[in-house]
Amino acid sequence: MMIALFPGQGSQSPGFLTPWLELDGAADRLAAYSEWSGVDLVAAGTEWDADQIRDTQVAQPLIVAASLLSWNTLDERERVDGVAGHSVGEFAAAAAAGILSEEDAMRLVGIRGRAMAEAATAESTGMSAVLGGDEGAVLERLVELDLTPANYNGGGQLVAAGTLDALSRLAEAPPAGTRIIALQVAGAFHTRFMAPAVETLRAAVQDASVSDPTLTIWTNRDGSTVSSGAEFARLLVEQVASPVRWDLCMASFAAAGVDGLVELAPGGTLTGLAKRGLRGTPAVAMKTPADREKFSAMLQGGSE
């Protein structure tokens, strides 16, 4: 089984869309994505600096646009059997699976980004990666500090989210055997702090046209497959304030017999997690258009 992965916020870097815009039709497609999302994605992906594209309301549509742009250039995407996205990447996955049109996906992710950015202004919150250690001990420490495990990324990596004060105390007294890395994000995503954004997105989804998926699609909620487009849309909304269970997604990929992964642009993060969580599974990260040749080689039996 070949599975396409769509990355989440934090995978972007300054200028990363420049080589993609050299492809025929890419500039026009990105201009349409910009109109639908309400963000100048051409400038964001080619000219803006790291601080500008870290802004939640820019980063989210930028990443989804990049994933869809690269997905549309894959001549052999008919060889893909299933899709999954990490956090905001679920919107790109939903479009690839036919649940949402690209217009609705970009419109909704623009609304999501703005709503989450606004929700993040209510309190001083953030996120930190917790690497290593015993998961049970890590979770106990998060409970003590009133922090939420927002992302279970697998391979010994959790992301804690909550108030900046609590995150500082976590860094000062981390669980045994762990390393704490503060993430450059504007708020505590996938936690109760995002509840206002959930309601905004729920209202916006009512205007979207939703279809049942044409490809197998896994949800971040619990790693299960979803056969109803309406159910997946509901989960997209609720996921804004719920933990991302990427560890369970990877376990489901293994159970489904995955034999290859391709991570759409801006690729690298999810294939990196797969090296630990799905050891030995061939994977290609779409960082530039040249990586399409690596995908073709993997399909022919070669691997990175």
State the CATH number of the domain containing residue 176.
Answer: 3.30.70.250
Q: Quick one: pLDDT at residue 222?
A: 98
pLDDT surpasses 70 at 304: no
Give the CB-side neighbour count of residue 284, counting CA atoms within 13 A.
Answer: 26
The b/e string for 118-143 (b: 16+ C-beta within 10 A; e otherwise) is ebbeeeebbbbbbbbbebeebbebbe
In a domain, 304, yes or no: no
State the CATH number of the domain containing residue 197.
Answer: 3.40.366.10
Q: Quick one: pLDDT at residue 303?
A: 44
Judge if 130 and 12 occupy the same domain.
no
Judge if 29 and 54 occupy the same domain.
yes
Band (pLDDT 50/70/90 cuts) for residue 302 is low
Q: Which of 34, 37, 67, 190 is catalytic?
A: 190
Query: Is 190 assigned a catalytic role?
Result: yes
Judge if 106 and 58 occupy the same domain.
yes
Cα-to-chain-centroid distance, residue 65:
12
Band (pLDDT 50/70/90 cuts) for residue 75 is confident
Indicate yes or no: pTM above 0.85: yes
Q: Which of 87, 128, 242, 252 is catalytic?
A: 87
What digits encode the pLDDT tens for the residues 22-57? 999 999 999 999 999 999 999 999 999 999 999 999
Q: Quick one: pLDDT at residue 155?
A: 85
Expressed in angstroms, the distance from the first to the final Cα of the chain is 17
Q: Quick one: pLDDT at residue 184?
A: 81
Which residues constitute the domain of residue 195?
2-120+191-299
Q: Quick one: pLDDT at residue 140?
A: 97
Paired with 129 in beta bridges are: 159, 181
Q: Quick one: pLDDT at residue 186?
A: 84
Count of domains for the chain: 2
pLDDT surpasses 70 at 107: yes
